[in-house]
Homo-oligomer: A and B are copies of this chain.
Amino acid sequence: MTQKLKDEAILAPANGVTLIDVAKVAGVSPITVSRALHKPEVVSEQTRQKVQQAVEQVGYIPNMLAGGLASRQTKLVAILVPTISHSIFADLLKAAMDGLSEAGYQSLLGITDYSVDKEEQLLGTILGRRPDAIVLTGTEHTTLTRKRLGASGVPVVEAWDWTDDPIDMLVGFSHEAVGTAMAQHLYEKGYRRFAGLFVSDNRAMRRCHAFYEALSVLGIEADDAVVMSPPASLKEGREGMRELLARDTRPEVVVCSSDTLAQGVLAEAAEQGLQVPSDIAVMGFGDMANASQLHPALSTVRLDSARVGALIADALLKRFEDQRSCVRLDMGFELIDRQST
């Protein structure tokens, strides 16, 4: 077959052509075509090639609706994240999608806007697509969500958090441990006057509480954190910083619930002519790609969300291979000292 012929043939529509058309052209039965495409090892090399040629000639594109209905597996994985506007979740999502697509799985994205109710609602329509697995962010869900997932038997990964009572699989880290570690770390660096700037999502607040708890254990009293509502953008960071600076005593270090917030703090400090870290130090959370490139480079907590995404994909692929596999992985985290503390 010439290249030209192939090019013209392959363009056939996704609508008309079915397995049967391919079978006719190849001179075999429809089921043999199906096998040639999905289980080439059980078909003779000769017929496999005939089928392959026929597929290209008629421009066949398998109908995965029909395939999924018949085989009860959709090669679809639903991934629910609170937002895609934070590089943390964008990176996680990208890595998970890449890992899954290598194994032939497509991803169905859901954005929960940090709301467990929206998560529940998304889940309702998503389950209608009969995904082979579902990835959730966090371990906080509505009871209905938990029940539906438990009853549906779909493999689940809860990501980006840690709990002793997971629905199924788990890839993440303890936000309480992060809060505690940040407090101890900054204390050991000699800071004594602390301020917190957090966004009021579930996980950030848990880091916040652990942070203040640890401070109190260290014998330090600190003013309450400034708490903003999501999303966490530079704007919130600047506003929060202004609020902190308006207080009676200026803190030595500002601990933020995300790098983005911290970046806003840096911008506000620059605007007000404050030197970082000599006048005021700043610590973020997330180690997004920008963090090391800011001026001054941002001290933060490194999570490697791309790795979390990749490990989510791994966990799922393992489960697909072996029903009994159940990955539960505490990724940990790493404190990164740069110029801002």
Contact = CB atoms under 8 A, between A and B. Distances in A.
Contacts of A68: 65
Contacts of A238: 293
Contacts of A109: 97, 107-109
A234 interface: yes
A144 B64 contact: no
Interface stretch (A40-48, A145-153, A168-176, A195-203): A145-153
Given A65-B68, A152-B14, A293 B127 contact: no
Given A61-B128, A234-B290, A271-B295, A153 B13 contact: yes
A313 to B, nearest CB: 14
Contacts of A235: 289, 293
30 contacts: A10-B148, A11-B144, A11-B147, A11-B150, A13-B153, A14-B130, A14-B148, A14-B152, A59-B148, A59-B151, A63-B128, A64-B128, A64-B129, A65-B68, A65-B129, A69-B69, A84-B90, A84-B93, A85-B90, A85-B91, A94-B111, A109-B109, A233-B293, A234-B289, A235-B293, A238-B293, A263-B290, A267-B294, A267-B295, A270-B270
A15 B235 CA distance: 46
Interface in A105-126: 106-109, 111, 124-126
B84 A13 contact: no
A99 interface: no
A109 B85 CA distance: 15
Nearest to A235: B293
Residue of A63, A126, A237 most packed against chain B (CB within 10 A): A63
Contacts of A295: 267-268, 270-271
A109 B62 CA distance: 19
* Residue of A7, A65, A147, A263 ringed by the most chain B CB atoms within 10 A: A65
Contact of A144 (B10, B14, B153, B154): B10
A33 B116 CA distance: 30
Interface in A59-96: 59, 61-66, 68-69, 74, 84-85, 87, 90-91, 93-94
A264 interface: yes
Contacts of A69: 63, 65-66, 69
A104 B254 CA distance: 44
A125 B74 CA distance: 12
A111 B99 CA distance: 13
A12 interface: yes
Contacts of A268: 295
B85 A97 contact: no
Nearest to A291: B234
A312 to B, nearest CB: 16
A121 B127 CA distance: 26
Contacts of A264: 293
Given A106-B129, A264-B293, A290-B233, A151 B61 contact: no
